Amino acid sequence: MHYYDQHMHTYFSPDSTETLERYLEQSAGKTVITTEHLDFFSKEQETADVLPDFDAYSEKIAQLNQLYDQRILKGIEVGFTYPDKEKIQDFLSGKDYDLILMSIHHNGRHGFMLLGNDDVPLENQLEEYYSLMLQGVREFTNANVLAHFDYGLRSYEVSVEELKAAEPKLLQIFETAVQHDIAFELNTRSMYRFGNAHLYEYAIDLYRSVGGTLFTVSSDAHVVEDYELGFKDAFEMLKKHGVEQLAVFKNQQPSFVELPQSANVQ
């Protein structure tokens, strides 16, 4: 089996207008899975909750699976917040998702990507963001993949030395993730659009140091042009760090596929 992109959005997410058909046309016979947003917000945020329309999504996929050789799976990206943990589990209950991503997108007051060095000192952002992530991996143990571990740093300039201030917490996060078979995502949008590839070089070794073996490489595409963004470089990075296999998820269960050789990557 070939490895395939495992973090993409379509018009079933509010921040994308892309279609499943266009990913299917780009994907050369490989499995296609989109991971549509689920995000609950607090009253103070005055933002409507984002709930993917599971019935319409399932129906669309069932139709397209007839036309495209059953190669579409179902996914969701859950923005985890502790106050909403029951609402999240209620939403997921009884739905046959193949893949559940866990993301930490906001803290009940603001989105983490909105802030940079000029707004909140890096030290405070590291403390708050990774505390919420630790709570996430402890509480939301049915997630399959920890998505974009650097999301809260996308608007910062951060060196590996600076990130090391959060190392004790990152170790706890990765140990807990490993206990619950939660994979580590190389989010190529973070790496190559937001310039955080160096932070991934560091985090790959840290996740491996606590026994982590489940890695995914994903584009976080919101448009088909970003499908498999930077995959060749991300595969090379993993190889350099001694990783030889990637994880793919079906029915929320991981299995391993060989890390693609760069010659076979588009």
Which of these, 116, 50, 43, lies nearest to 79 by C-alpha position? 50
Q: Which is nearer to Zn ion, 34 or 176 (CB)?
A: 34
Based on the shown chain and the rule CB under 5 A, indicate whether residue 103 belongs to the binding site for Zn ion.
Answer: yes
Whether 256 and 242 have beta carbons less than 8 Å apart is answered as no
Contact range with Zn ion by CB under 5 A, out of 103-111, 153-161, 183-191, 200-208 = 103-111
Contact range with Zn ion by CB under 5 A, out of 97-105, 202-210, 230-238, 245-253 = 97-105
Based on the shown chain and the rule CB under 5 A, indicate whether residue 196 belongs to the binding site for Zn ion.
Answer: no
**DSSP H or E run through 215:** strand 215-218
Q: Which is nearer to Zn ion, 122 or 221 (CB)?
A: 221
Whether 136 and 80 have beta carbons less than 8 Å apart is answered as yes
Q: Which is nearer to Zn ion, 5 or 77 (CB)?
A: 77
Q: Which is nearer to Zn ion, 82 or 256 (CB)?
A: 82
Distance CA 220, CA 237 (A): 18
Q: Which is nearer to Zn ion, 109 or 261 (CB)?
A: 109
Residue tagged 């969701």 (tokens) = 76
Distance CA 230, CA 232 (A): 6
Q: Which is nearer to Zn ion, 77 or 226 (CB)?
A: 77
Among 220, 228, 230, 234, binds Zn ion (CB under 5 A): 220
Provide φ and ψ at 122, rounded to 5°: -50, -45
Which of these, 146, 128, 129, lies nearest to 137 by C-alpha position? 146
Contact range with Zn ion by CB under 5 A, out of 22-30, 83-91, 212-220, 252-260 = 212-220
Based on the shown chain and the rule CB under 5 A, indicate whether residue 5 belongs to the binding site for Zn ion.
Answer: no
Which of these, 45, 50, 63, lies nearest to 12 by C-alpha position? 50
Taking CB atoms, the residue at the shortest distance from Zn ion is 103
Whether 221 and 36 have beta carbons less than 8 Å apart is answered as no
Min. distance of Cβ 91 from Zn ion in angstroms?
17
Q: Going residue by residue from 109 to 148, which x/- string records binding to Zn ion, judged by CB under 5 A? A: ----------------------------------------
Whether 78 and 137 have beta carbons less than 8 Å apart is answered as no
Provide φ and ψ at 53, rounded to 5°: -80, 90
Kindly state the number of chain residues that form the binding site for Zn ion, as judged by CB under 5 A: 3
The residue ranges that bind Zn ion (CB under 5 A) are: 77, 103, 220
